[in-house]
Structures are given as structure tokens and as C-alpha cells.
Structure 1
Amino acid sequence: MRPDPLPTSVSHPVVTPLSPSVVYASETPDELDAQYEGRVQGYTYSREGHPNADVVAKRLDAMEGISGGIVTSSGMAAVSAVVLGLLKAGDHVIGANQLYGRSLRLMKEDLPRLGMSTSLVDPGDVQAVKAEINPETKMILVEVVSNPTLSVADIKGLAKLCEQEGILFVVDNTFTTPRGFRPFDHGADIVIHSITKLLAGHSDVMLGYAVARDQAINDQMRVFAITTGMTPSPFDCWLAERGMLSFELRFDRTQETAALLADHLAGLPGVKRVLYPTRHDHPDNGLATELLGVSGCNMVSFELTGGRTAANIFTREADGLNFAPTLGDVGTTLSHPASSSHRGLTEVERMKLGLSEGFFRVSVGLEDPEPLLAVFTHAVNTATC
């Protein structure tokens, strides 16, 4: 039986309705054909698309200055839709050597298992990347600002290299977001987001997004995502849309506080180093200024003296701050790469990246700056005294 029709109304809701239906009924086989063939707009089975996902995709498309993006069930699903949806056995992929931990695992373990070869290189060194290119290289994958040491990729140099070599240039824009940087304006072919993070912004959504400049590539990624069941939850999409309405305000506020926190941490005894792109002592400050201008974003990383012992004391003493492997929440969160995102690396591999047991990544939230700085002062002093 058909559901009862909705009551008619001359007004309309100011909030997008939640559409949890798994299936959508059509009038006739001809009408269903017309939907599948793109002659009319409609929905059939939610794995193949639903209204709430389309609302989020169109909002992100507008932010990135593009069209045709797809929303997936997580950020890693978006990465997988790009890499696995476009490449085949025998292809070679170059990745940044400081990608998100699960992206690194994909590069180091899963792609080789599926018959693809990979290389990991410093994305700030275009010549080093060029040296890894071979006839089978089909894709280069980087993050604008890396996780977790906040190193900056030479996006313009890599875009030029990819254009010259006929290689797809894929940019994960999760840390920087379209508010801080728009990769398509600088030569990217494909852009990826973990909507889970700052875009949705409340730690209650898990979604990803991928979009290509070439609509044929979008179609290829979409088909793969549908086939492999990377379907986003309508409820998560509905929540994400709500979060995205306040995104720009949250981004600006957290970025301002992050810059204050970075300078404050740099003045505390017991802090060995602070990493924030707009600080003059950041190793990639020149490149960061060229690409991001004054947008340092909301992430700050720092290293404590005292190793794991100090790290344990610090997280216990950081009253009110969640120690959790996430970022982009309305509250400030602390992440310890050695025990979370990069725990799959050996100690030698982590140390090569500068990820000691005293290294933390901070995702700055919306708290008032003064009490937030006081919490860090107390926790650092107690951990390193």
C-alpha cells in the first residue's frame, strides 16, 4: 500500500526534510527507465542516491566552485572511491609521506595487495616527487596541510608537474577546507573531504565527499561508490547540512584562537616546538603564506619534553579537553598520533616524521581563548615540571 500523501500546504519548511526511505516508488516501468536514463529527476533506491545526500553535495560543490560531487559514508570511503574507483592493478600511485594514518595504510598495505605499486614522498619537494614518476604512474595524492605535522604541500608545483606528465592530481582538502583553500583554483583534478571533521563540526556525523573537474571521472567514482555500498546515511547528511550552515563562522573563530594558542604554547617551558603554518618559525611558512595567506586553519601541533610519561600527565591534567582521535569539533580535542592515527607505523618510521611520544595535535574549538590558554598552561607545566 502506498503511504498517505503529505498534507498540502502553501508554505514550505525552512529546514530540509529528512528522507530516510530506502526505496522510492515510481508510477510505471517507463517512468523508472526515464529516471535511470537521466531524462527525468527521481530517486529509486537510496544506495544509488537520496535527497539529503544531494543537498550536501550541492552545498559542497558550491563551496569548491565545481559541480557533480558525491557524498560517501566516510572520509576514507571518499579516498577509496577515488583511488580504487579510478585505478587498476599495475598502476602506480604517489602519495604524500604524511597522509592521514588510514590513507597511509591504504598506500602501504592495501593497494600493493591489490596489485598497485606506491611511493611515499615529501609533497613539498616537487623534484623528489618527479623522481618517483614512472610510466605506470597514474595519480598523485596529497593533503594541502598534512596530518599531523602541518607541513605544506607545493600544490602549484605539483599541479604543473601532473599536467605535464598527464597524471591525476588529487588533493585532500579536509584540514584547510574551502574557506582556507580551493584546490581547483590551483590546478587540482580531484578534491576530497572528510565532512566528518570541520565541515559538519559536531562529532556526530561520519561522511566523505569527492569531486573531479572532469564529469566523466565523477560518473566513474559514483558508479564505484554505489556498487561497493559507500552509501551515506540520510540522517548524517541531514545533520551535516545543519553543521555546514555555521561552518564559516566556526572556521573563522577557531582559526583565530588556534593562532593565539600556537603563540602561547611557544612561550611555555616544557614545549620543545610548536607547528602552525602562519608562524614565522614553521618550516614551510613561505609556502603556507603563498597558498593560504593568513589562513593558518584550526590545527596546532606541538611537542612536549618528557615523552610518553609527560603525555599521560598532560592529557589527565587538560581539564575539559577531550583526548580523542578526531578534529573539527565545537570543543577543543587532543590527539596523540603515536597512540592513535599513526600507531601502525614503527617507532623508527614515526620518529622519521617527527612524531615522538610527546607529540600532540590539537583541533581548536569554540571555547573562549583565555580559559583555554589557562588549561594548556596548567597541563603543560604539570606534565613537564
Structure 2
Amino acid sequence: MTHDPRSLVRRTPVPPSVSRPVVSPIFPSVVYRSADADELDAQYMGQLKGYTYAREGHPNATIIGQKIDWLEGVTPEMGQGVVTGSGMGAVSALFLGLCRAGDHIVAGDQLYGRSLRLLTQDLPRLGIEATLADPTDAAAIEAAIRPETRLILVEVVSNPTLRVADMEAIAEIARRRGVLLAVDNTFTTPRAYRPFAHGANVVIHSLTKLLAGHSDVTLGWIAADTPERSKAIYDAIVTWGLTPSPFDCWLAERGLTTFDLRYDRAEANAAALAGVLAGLDGVEAVLYPGRADHPDHNRAQAVLGGRGGNMLSFRLKGGRAQVNAFLRAAENIAFAPTLGDVGTTLSHPASSSHRGLTPEGRAALGITEGFIRVSVGVEDIGLLTREITEAVAAAARA
């Protein structure tokens, strides 16, 4: 078909087709056209479904958002989850949407480092205070509640010590005391735990991690249990500009198609690797929720339904010199501050996620200089255990 050259500027229609693409298209458009002012009004009033401006939503965010909604059990009666530009965008949307000056928050004391910074350094500037408490001790959580407490925020499994929160008791406390319960489900994922089914009012994810799974996406997701809370969170996301990129949403949808397969394989690898590490002379302790020697093993069995997840931590005998020797010897395993990738990655909390704590503060959490966190991937388990075993031996020689 021959076009008038002037049609090169916004006048070329999408080619008609009776068939449809198998893979979701990418919709990079920032704006969407409407037929007239009445149609635009109808969209804003909710009478017609459509898109207007990408900061307010776009098709790729809707597609991936609906998939996470299904995984987490979000129903139409609750509203719908919203995708954000990062996991911290989702955490920020929780506070910006549901809290106001004068409110108080009770939070787990081993949350992700940036969540802790937001709670203790940034929210106070907005007139919102926070108290940190041990989520494995429900009594400590309840003792931290004040009359002005708006919500409780916990992670099911802590980073990096992999302690398991007393979720049943915390949910009961939140209901009884009339405060909201928000759960960051990034570590556990809906494959192991579905917070809404256990009394949560808000659920948060960093899609960057296990759900997308390839270390090439930065996204978050948040959903609430009522349309009113969902709307308040959505408005905060739009107003504060926490919108995700269409391309990242498209990549995350691609990664999500293999999520259950990746999770199961990585979990099996983690259990096997934990067993190998526990038998090595150069290893002082292994932390894995699926092991009987984990301090919260019985609770982990109940909360996680017998699952152990893909994360484990261990303590090398020695200190920084042994850690450096281990990391250099494990040259084919990325030493990188991330988790949930298809490949195994290593993290040293004392020099990364928890570097802001004093040595005494880290020691109180059990984080020594020899502490290493492992996000186990889907590699051949024989190859992985051989590389880790050789690296532990190199550390022992150091």
C-alpha cells in the first residue's frame, strides 16, 4: 500500500490482522488518543476501560499486574494490584497511600536495608514514626503498638538470617488491635506463602527478584484487600511518579512464565547445597529453613507448608580474609547484591546490606564477618556444590 509521505507523522494505522500475536506486544507509548472529550471523560469516570497517560497505567503494567494478582489471590472485590518502578516504589506507595502525619508504624527489625532507612530516617521527616521489633517474637510486636499505630510491616523470612516471622500470631494481633498488616512477600513468593489468605491487608513484592528472575528488570508490585485502600495506593503511585517502564513489565512477564519451574529447581538446589555445606570443615553454621537445625524450623514448616525456599546463609570459620578467599575462589558464582536470579549469587552482608550497622549491631543479629548469604539458582547441582566446596576449602587455607 502506498502512503502519502505526510502519513509518516502519526497517521499510519496499525495493520489489520485476523490473527493475534502469541507474545504480548510492548506498548511504549506515553499517551493514548481518545475519540472525543466525552470518551475521555468516560474513561476517567470508570465507565469505559482505556488508557490515557502512561504514568496512570499502560497495557504492559496491566498484563503483568493481573498475573501477580492471580498468584497472590487478589479478587475483583479487593480491587487490583499495581506495578511500580521498583520494590522500594511499592514499599513507598504503602506509606504514602495509607499513612499520614502523626501515624506510627511497627516494623520487623530485619527488613530490607532500604526499607529500614525509609522507616527510620525518611518517614520521620513526614511526621510518621516507626518502631522496630523482632517478628519472630509476637509479644515484642504487640508491645511496640501505640494508640496511633496505623500498620505493621513484616517480611515472612528475614534477610539475611532467614528467621521466620510468627505470622499467625502477628495477624491475630493486627486484627485484635485494629491495625493494618502489610507483608513483604519477596523472599517467600506466593509459591510458598500467600499473605492475603492468612490475614494480611497489603502485600508487597520486589518483582526484580524471583518473580522476574533474570536480573534484567527493576519493578515492584503492591495490592490491598479493599477497593478504598487499593485506590489510595494507586493514587500515591500516580502522584509520586512511581510508574514502571513498559519494557521492564514486558520482560517481567516473560520471566514469570517460568517462575514455578525456576522456584522449584532453585529450592531443590538450595536444600542440597545446605546439606553439603553443613558437612564441610570450614563452615561454622548453616541457616536454611528446611533444615531441622534451623532455629525456626517448626514454624517454617507450618508457615511455608514444608517449603524451604531458594535462600540460605552460612558462616565461614574466620573473618574477612577467609571471605575474600572464598569469593575469589568461587569466581564463576557472581558476588553481587541481588537475589532471585536464575544463576546463584553470593552476598556478604557485613560489607553490603548491613554495612551501616555497628559490628555490635551485626553481631546481635548473628552476622559475623564470615557470614555469607546465597541466592541459589537453577544450575546443575553437581557443578554448584563442587564450586562451593572448592571455595570453602580455599577459605580454610587462607
Q: TM-score band, normalised by the shorter chain?
A: over 0.9
Q: Please, which of 61, 75, 92 is the counterpart of residue 104 of structure 2?
A: 92
Asked if 1:64 corresponds to 2:72, the answer is: yes
Match of 2:3 in 1: none
Asked if 1:32 corresponds to 2:40, the answer is: yes
Q: CA RMSD in A?
A: 0.9
Q: How far apart in 2 are the matches of 1:207 and 1:349?
A: 30
Structure 2 matches for 1:1-385, cutoff 5 A? 2-67=10-75, 68-385=80-397
In structure 2, the gaps of 5 or more residues are 1-8
Secondary structure of the structure 2 residue equivalent to 1:23 = coil
Secondary structure of the structure 2 residue equivalent to 1:27 = coil
Q: How far apart in 1 are the matches of 2:382 and 2:151?
A: 45
1:308-351 C-alpha deviation (Å, 9 max, x unpaired): 11111111100310000000111000011111111222222111
TM-score (norm. length: structure 1): 0.99
Q: How far apart in 2 are the matches of 1:180 and 1:338?
A: 28
Secondary structure of the structure 1 residue equivalent to 2:115 = helix
Amino acid at match of 1:43: Y
- Identity across matched positions, percent: 59
Q: How far apart in 2 are the matches of 1:236 and 1:284?
A: 36
Amino acid at match of 1:185: A
Structure 1 residue runs of 4 or more that deviate by more than 3 Å after TM superposition: none
Q: How far apart in 2 are the matches of 1:111 and 1:266?
A: 41
1:84 CA drift (Å): 2.2
Q: How far apart in 2 are the matches of 1:87 and 1:51?
A: 29
The number of equivalent residue pairs is 385
Q: Which structure's CA Rg is the greater one?
A: 2
1:228 CA drift (Å): 0.5
Q: How far apart in 2 are the matches of 1:85 and 1:351?
A: 35
Q: How far apart in 2 are the matches of 1:84 and 1:227?
A: 10
Q: How far apart in 1 are the matches of 2:359 and 2:10?
A: 60
In structure 1, the gaps of 5 or more residues are none
TM-score (norm. length: structure 2): 0.95
Q: How far apart in 1 are the matches of 2:247 and 2:114?
A: 25
Q: How far apart in 2 are the matches of 1:350 and 1:27?
A: 60
Q: How far apart in 1 are the matches of 2:14 and 2:58?
A: 18
1:147-190 C-alpha deviation (Å, 9 max, x unpaired): 11100011111111000011000000001100111111111111
Secondary structure of the structure 2 residue equivalent to 1:6 = coil
